[in-house]
A and B are shown apart, each in its own frame.
With several copies, the nearest count.
Chain A
Amino acid sequence: MKAIVMVMLKPGVLDPQGKAIGHALQTLGFAGVGEVRAGKVIELELSESDPARARASAEEMARKLLANTVIEGFHVEIAS
């Protein structure tokens, strides 16, 4: 079972990387791009076969290590 953990800066935390990407996209001529946020994604191969338990475990990993909850929020998706 695969868990995908997406970690993004919380709203309110300045995201210079997102801003720089937005700026670069504009320079490249892409129109209609509003806010850009940059984050991390971590794909985990889990031996767990129950989706709910896999999710719970990935969420605990995010809380304990993958995200710094002072500045980041996270979101878990489970794929099979």
Chain B
Amino acid sequence: MTKREVTPALAREFGLSAEEYGRVLAIMGRTPSFTELGIFSVMWSEHCSYKSSRVWLKQLPTAAPWVIHGPGENAGVVDIGDGLAAVFKMESHNHPSFIEPYQGAATGVGGILRDVFTMGARPVANLNALRFGHPDDPRTRRVVDGVVRGVGGYGNCVGVPTVGGEVNFHPAYSGNPLVNAMTVGIAPRDRIFLSAAAGVGNPVVYVGSKTGRDGIHGATMASAEFDAATEEKRPTVQVGDPYTEKLLIEACLELMATDAIVAIQDMGAAGLTSSSVEMAGKGSVGIELDLDQVPQREAEMTAYEMMLSESQERMLMVLRPDRQDVARAIFEKWELDFAVIGRLTDTGRIVVRHRGAVEADIALDPLAEQAPLYHRPTADTSKLPLLGEVADPAGLVPALLTLIGCPDLCSRAWVWNQYDSTIGGQTVQRPGGADAAVVRIEGSRRALALTTDCTPRYCAADPEAGGMQAVAEAWRNLSAVGARPLAITDNMNFGNPEKPEIMGQFAASIRGMAAACRALDFPVVSGNVSLYNETDGRGILPTPAIGGLGVLEDAGQCVGLALRPGLDLVLVGTASGWLGQSLWLREVAGREDGPPPPVDLAAERRNGDLVRELILAGRVRACHDVSDGGLLVTVAEMALGGDVGATLLDAPAGSVPHCFWFGEDQARYVLAVADADAILIAAESAGVPAQRLGRAEGTHLTLPGGVSISLAELRAAHERFFPAWMGS
């Protein structure tokens, strides 16, 4: 890219406001060079600086005795016992996935994997939380097809099982799908690698793939200076190479078994710039880079291009000088590039040289400390009035068929069948088998439970309740397999933060999440913020996606959701018949209305603790939390899971049947147990409401009053949508 004269207009093109550019001038004491301006613009971008969200994120609780590293590192780290730590994080690749669904999703998976293995953890599981436009929108199919292929294409090839996730559809995501990828890894708890550089004189080493002109600063793409010739060289969509990533994982883990690494950081957004600036900044040292040494894929790359390239599958390390050869041998064995591209200094500055010229020379402290931080105005989020009575237009069985077959509730087998979920040989609960995926830790009885959750329609109606609900549901899904919930990662997907109503949604969601995290002892240890998810001025539904992690001491104690014949069904929790924002209301009554179900955090905790205790005591054969679609959908999913029918008792006296069976009250679980009476007694002594629901038997789901529907018919309705829609 040809250098251009640095002017306030160019700064604006690079996404810096006049005030921000003024700050750049003050820090530099002169007009910055083209490359320097590029460095400031990416470091101070929303993506790297969290300038709109930082003030709010601080409100999230991040500590607990088992938290080893909270937010601020490449990923969160928690103690899972046996001298091991789980390392995990979730990250969005929303915009790239709309432009190029396959590569956008694939590189999203690649990026989050690097965040985890850069800390010394072997990745053991991937999850993906996906939101798409309405299925009737002609664009949606192509996006779904590409995203699912991309997630699978990358994860399957690197050999990390994809064990869970979620899929939602809503018109608000039509021009703005959400692809949130989560990776979980395991490391010895005393062998965690961090990114703070140390040791003046130590070599700065680049490993992985070569650098090309991939994904360079979006702002400059619109530059009027582009002509036909540069058009060909135009910053391009990043293409992922999972094969190289697999080699990079093996090479890094092999090197991490030695004592060669002082600090390590993946090159993610803003590539070499953010990795070198952050490593040096965190370690309070200076750094010198010689770009002539950077492995390059294309000819004639400029300093600007190399500093801003987002080529995939690259890492930056600081090594002990006497271990450089050991490291080089390992990377050469794995056929990866290895190059010493600089060294640490004591100047507190980043100095970038290329072809004999100093292309950038910036003091690191002010670059970090004077980064913009905005207290953007927030508008209060209005609450919807309570729903009045809503009559049942359909009857229970037709409503059940509609719900269990609708895009938001139907079987996701079409999706997860494209993801290798068994590789590693440790997957105890695969997708669809339980409320959380369960992955055993190789060589032990211990296991991790993993889930992602968010109900965006609740968040849109009441962001605070929605944020709370998302955290509570993640906690509930972990409890429902018998795991002890430990911590979450989050992915805050919102619209334009410059609009007060969007910032209001953000702030309220954080408030709700923070309250739930505190009440459930479920801190946030990592996360990601994705703003400006808008097309033509219309924002997405506020979507604070939550990735939850829990631990089981003995994988053999976990339960799935499949019914078995002869068991009693018990509902734990209270059914008030809450229809506001329920799927029944939307799919059956045709309304999106009312406030979402309130979250009673004390009840969540009490009910979940009881359920977990019962599971670990071996008194529960199957368990499923009650979420989207309500009680009858929950029971139907359990029946389909075990291929056994159930006979249900009457709704309690005084309740309205369709409200009872389809309401979406929180803090509830359905248990399948051998001895319901004993469970009811246990619940009573714990102060937890519980009631008998029915019994698992036969080949039909039989509702009170004797109406019944065969499992075969239910299954056909449940499994129809995806294959029919995608044409195979």
Contact = CB atoms under 8 A, between A and B. Distances in A.
Interface of A: 9-16, 19-20, 23, 68, 70-71
A12 B236 contact: yes
Interface string B222-264: 0000000000111011110101100000000000000000000
Nearest to B99: A70
Contact of A11 (B103, B232, B311, B312): B232
Nearest to B335: A23
B213 interface: yes
Contacts of A71: 100, 103, 236-237, 239
B101 to A, nearest CB: 10
Contacts of A13: 214, 236-237, 239
Contacts of A19: 241
A70 B237 contact: yes
17 contacts: A10-B232, A11-B232, A12-B213, A12-B233, A12-B234, A13-B214, A14-B209, A14-B212, A14-B241, A14-B312, A68-B100, A70-B99, A70-B100, A71-B100, A71-B103, A71-B236, A71-B237
Q: How large is the interface on B (under 10, 10 to 19, 20 to 34, 35 or more residues)?
A: 20 to 34
A20 B209 CA distance: 12
B212 A12 contact: yes
B12 interface: no
A77 to B, nearest CB: 22
A23 B232 CA distance: 26
Nearest to A70: B100
Given A68-B100, A70-B99, A10 B239 contact: no
A20 B243 contact: yes
Nearest to A68: B100
Contact of A16 (B99, B232, B244): B244
A20 B100 CA distance: 21
Nearest to B232: A11
Looking at chain A's contact residues, the main secondary structure is loop
B298 interface: yes
B297 interface: yes
Contacts of B312: 14
Contacts of B234: 12
Interface of B: 99-100, 103, 209, 212-214, 232-234, 236-239, 241, 243-244, 297-298, 311-312, 335
Nearest to A10: B236
A24 B232 CA distance: 28
A9 B335 CA distance: 24
A48 B234 CA distance: 31
A14 B297 contact: yes
Contacts of A11: 232-233
Nearest to A27: B727
A32 B99 CA distance: 31
Contacts of A68: 100
Given A68-B100, A70-B99, A71-B100, A16 B243 contact: yes
A71 B103 CA distance: 10
Residue of A9, A16, A23 with highest tally of chain B CB at under 10 A: A16
A50 to B, nearest CB: 27
Contact of B298 (A12, A20, A70): A12
Nearest to B312: A14
A19 B295 CA distance: 15
Contacts of B212: 12, 14
A11 B213 CA distance: 10
A21 to B, nearest CB: 12
A16 B236 contact: no
A68 B239 CA distance: 13
B415 to A, nearest CB: 20
Contacts of A20: 243
Contacts of B238: 14
A19 B312 CA distance: 15
A-B pairs, top 6 by smallest CB distance, nearest first, are A16-B241, A14-B239, A70-B100, A13-B236, A12-B236, A71-B237
A64 B103 CA distance: 19
Contacts of B241: 14, 16, 19
Contacts of B297: 14
Nearest to A19: B241
Contacts of B243: 16, 20
A13 B213 CA distance: 8
A71 B335 CA distance: 26
Nearest to A23: B335
Contact of B214 (A14, A23, A70): A14
Contacts of B209: 14
Nearest to A13: B236
A30 to B, nearest CB: 17
A60 B243 CA distance: 26
A19 to B, nearest CB: 8
A11 B243 CA distance: 21
A18 B100 CA distance: 20
A36 B232 CA distance: 18
Contacts of B311: 14
A52 B99 CA distance: 32
A18 B684 CA distance: 64
B237 A12 contact: no
B103 A12 contact: no
A26 to B, nearest CB: 11
Contacts of B239: 9, 13-16, 71
A5 B263 CA distance: 45
B227 to A, nearest CB: 16
A9 B243 CA distance: 18
Given A20-B243, A70-B237, A71-B239, A12 B232 contact: yes
